[in-house]
Amino acid sequence: MDPTINAGPDPERNIAGFYDWLAPDYDQMTGFEKRFAHEKPFFRLLVENNGIRSAVDAGCGTGFHSFLLAQLGVDVTAVDVSPIMIEGLRKHSSALGYPIKAVVAGFSDLPGLLKLPADAVFCMGNTLAHMLSREQLCESLGAFHTLLKPGGILFAQTLNYDRILATREKIQSVKEIGGTTFIRYYEYHAENILFTILKLTRDAAGVHHAVQSVELRPVLTKEIVPMLEDAGFVDVRLFGGITMEQFDPSESKDLVLIARKASA
């Protein structure tokens, strides 16, 4: 495993703290091992069709997409604000046998840290919703643009907040894993959303709970498309998931964005 780079004090401590707390349960919650068989065919097409040989996995968590891309022959640099998530990636790296450079940093720091232009930047798992102001989101998109080679692509996935804000459902999911229940729910405020995970565990003494929250700023299509164009991206396309089905603002669970840096 290449040494972890630490960018110093993290300006997004609340986000890092949330994911440090979540990290021990993260792989179970997201189905780390089971996802490879399902997602690999779609990412193989993406890699082959776009000639991707190098990539940045921005908001990597414990590294699922980093390892998926590495299995497809891509040289990956993984980035996350949570040191505990990066520790999880390091353990997977040893177990899976894929050395991946890990960077603990915020997105705006990356152009000064990474000595590369990459063929692709991947930003998966609703990470863009953690940019809590328009300015922060613009800065992150600008950083991604800087990281890319001419003709390189940005592949980003968020939840479909067009649908979520229209329905304003409080409970987002309830998942049972090995006797532990994870309840994910939203509290809606004027502009942002408070995202909370309630963890319930049961033993002979009864039911125990732990709870953690983090603020999100909904990513809406009417805002993100012109922001990508302002950052210098072209050919912005919207899909309803990694299977590349048509995006439906009222029905799609996810929003997947593909945008390209203009060729020189």
Check whether residue 83 and residue 212 sit in a common domain. Answer: no
Question: What whole-number distance in Å separates Cα of residue 153 and Cα of residue 145?
Answer: 9
How many residues are recorded in the chain?
A: 264
Residue type, 136: Q
Tell me the two tokens of residue 152: 């390189």
Q: Report the CATH number that the domain containing residue 247 is assigned in CATH.
A: 3.40.50.150
Question: Where a domain ends, among 216, 237, 253?
Answer: 216
pLDDT digits (tens, 9 = 90+) for 227-258: 999 999 999 999 999 999 999 999 999 999 99
1 pLDDT exceeds 80?
Answer: no
Check whether residue 68 and residue 187 sit in a common domain. Answer: no
Question: Where a domain ends, among 179, 197, 216?
Answer: 216
Counted domains in the chain: 2
**CB-based contacts of 192, cutoff 8 Å, min separation 6:** 132, 215, 216, 217, 218
Q: Which residue has the tokens 């995006």?
A: 247
Question: Where a domain ends, among 216, 234, 253?
Answer: 216
Range of the structural domain that residue 172 is part of: 164-216
Please state, as a whole number, how many other Cβ atoms lie within 10 Å of the Cβ of residue 72: 17
Question: What whole-number distance in Å separates Cα of residue 90 and Cα of residue 263?
Answer: 35
Instruction: Give the β-pairing of 171-177 and 101-104.
Output: unpaired
Average pLDDT over residues 125-131: 96
DSSP tag of 108? G
Check whether residue 150 and residue 96 sit in a common domain. Answer: yes
Question: What whole-number distance in Å separates Cα of residue 148 and Cα of residue 258?
Answer: 13
Q: What is the pLDDT of residue 204?
A: 84
Q: What is the DSSP string of 135-156?
A: HHHHHHHHHHHHHEEEEEEEEE
Q: Report the CATH number that the domain containing residue 186 is assigned in CATH.
A: 2.20.25
Check whether residue 141 and residue 129 sit in a common domain. Answer: yes
Strand order of the β-sheet with 5-6 is 5-6, 101-104, 75-80, 54-58, 118-123, 148-159, 254-261, 233-239
Check whether residue 256 and residue 125 sit in a common domain. Answer: yes
Check whether residue 184 and residue 238 sit in a common domain. Answer: no
Check whether residue 68 and residue 197 sit in a common domain. Answer: no
The phi, psi pair for 103, rounded to 5°, reads -125, 120
Check whether residue 91 and residue 134 sit in a common domain. Answer: yes
Check whether residue 81 and residue 190 sit in a common domain. Answer: no
Tell me the two tokens of residue 60: 């990597």
pLDDT digits (tens, 9 = 90+) for 51-82: 999 999 999 999 999 999 999 999 999 999 99
Check whether residue 39 and residue 104 sit in a common domain. Answer: yes
Check whether residue 182 and residue 243 sit in a common domain. Answer: no
Q: What is the pLDDT of residue 117?
A: 94
Least confident of 6-20, 127-141, 154-168, 203-217: 6-20
Question: What whole-number distance in Å separates Cα of residue 140 and Cα of residue 261?
Answer: 15
Q: What is the pLDDT of residue 10?
A: 39
Check whether residue 152 and residue 200 sit in a common domain. Answer: no
b/e map 190-205, b = 16+ CB within 10 Å: eeebebbbebbeeeee
